[in-house]
Amino acid sequence: MTIFDHSNYKEYIKKLIAQMPRKGRGQLSKLAQELTVNSTVISQIFKGDRHLSPEQGLKVSKYFGFNELEEKYFITLIHKERAGTKNLSDFYKKEEKKLLLKAQQVKTRIQKHKVISEEHKAQFYSEWYYSGIRMLSALPTHNTIDDFADYFNLNRGLVTKVLDLLISTGLCIEENGRISVGPQNTHIDNKSLFVNSHRRNWKLKSLQAMNNNNDSDLFYSSPMSLSKEDRLKIREELLQAIDKVLKKVHKSKEEELVCLNIDWFKF
């Protein structure tokens, strides 16, 4: 579920909260504190006819960790609902459609996810095992602290620390002592301060995997010379291939953990 699947900002926020740990219990109260309003106002907004102001909408966007495009779309939906005339409402409906089209363009071809806060991102992307443990929790055979510690040969105390972050941010959920993937997702683009740490972490894991000599793995390097035009064409083909892989992964049954690393650069 993404914000781009919704044209009503209230419905999206309510569904988003409902998918959070403990079904979002206490989230509206925290949101009220973030907006420095009482809980009655929040109830009037999300259960009544009252609307967020654009200024409040920005705070809500930051609270839930929307990326720039999601934030623009969210604020546009607020303006649309607050419009006092049909002409103004139609104007924001056009803006809404423009942003939906932008979300489908090349820059957003690989699905953009709602991201966690900057503070949590710094921690999440600091080491590979944060995303590694989260992915492992998607497998039905690995759902406890001991499962994660044994699989990755990590200290149980470290795993507990990692799970504290994953569960508190909704990246994982805990039910009856078992851990599974949560409703929240995280994605970083090329401009993120954390993208190089993320890439470096998994490049190092790739180097370690090379030493395993597993016949089912694939490692390929090939320096080459070619035209600028072909270089750009191949880049586009790689993006299409990534998109195809992600669509297949989305429908695939969780049985194994793998990592995809692709390099294509000038030197």
Q: What is the pLDDT of residues 74-107, one digit of tens each?
A: 999 999 999 999 999 999 999 999 998 888 763 3
What is the mean predicted confidence (pLDDT) over 216-220?
87
Kindly state whether residue 188 falls inside one of the protein's structural domains. Answer: no
The dihedral formed by the CA atoms of 164, 36, 28 and 117, expressed in degrees to the nearest 10? -40
Contact 35, 56 (CB under 8 A): yes
Q: Which long-range contacts (CB under 8 A, 24 or more apart) does 47-50 make?
A: none
d(CA 55, CA 63): 13
| Dihedral sign of CA atoms 81, 86, 87, 90 in order | positive
- DSSP label at residue 5: G
Q: What is the CATH number of the domain that holds 175?
A: 1.10.10
130 and 99, same structural domain?
no
Kindly state whether residue 189 falls inside one of the protein's structural domains. Answer: no
> What is the domain count for the chain?
3
What is the mean predicted confidence (pLDDT) over 6-28?
83
150 and 97, same structural domain?
no
126 and 221, same structural domain?
no
Contact 173, 143 (CB under 8 A): no
Kindly state whether residue 65 falls inside one of the protein's structural domains. Answer: yes
141 and 86, same structural domain?
no
What is the mean predicted confidence (pLDDT) over 129-155?
90
Give me the pLDDT at residue 86, please: 93
Q: What is the CATH number of the domain that holds 19?
A: 1.10.260
Residues forming a β-bridge with 173: 180
Percent of the chain with pLDDT over 90: 34
153 and 100, same structural domain?
no
Within 8 A by CB and 6+ apart from 67, the residues are 112, 114, 115, 187, 189
Per the structure, the complete domain to which residue 228 belongs is given by: 196-251
Looking at every residue in the chain, the average pLDDT score rounds to: 85
Kindly state whether residue 78 falls inside one of the protein's structural domains. Answer: yes
- DSSP label at residue 262: -
Give me the pLDDT at residue 63, please: 78
99 and 14, same structural domain?
yes
Strand blocks (E) in 127-217:
172-175, 178-181
C-alpha gyration radius of the chain: 21
- 219-260 residue pLDDT tens: 888 889 999 999 999 999 999 998 899 889 888 888 999 989
pTM for the whole structure? 0.51
Contact 31, 60 (CB under 8 A): yes
135 and 91, same structural domain?
no
104 and 7, same structural domain?
yes
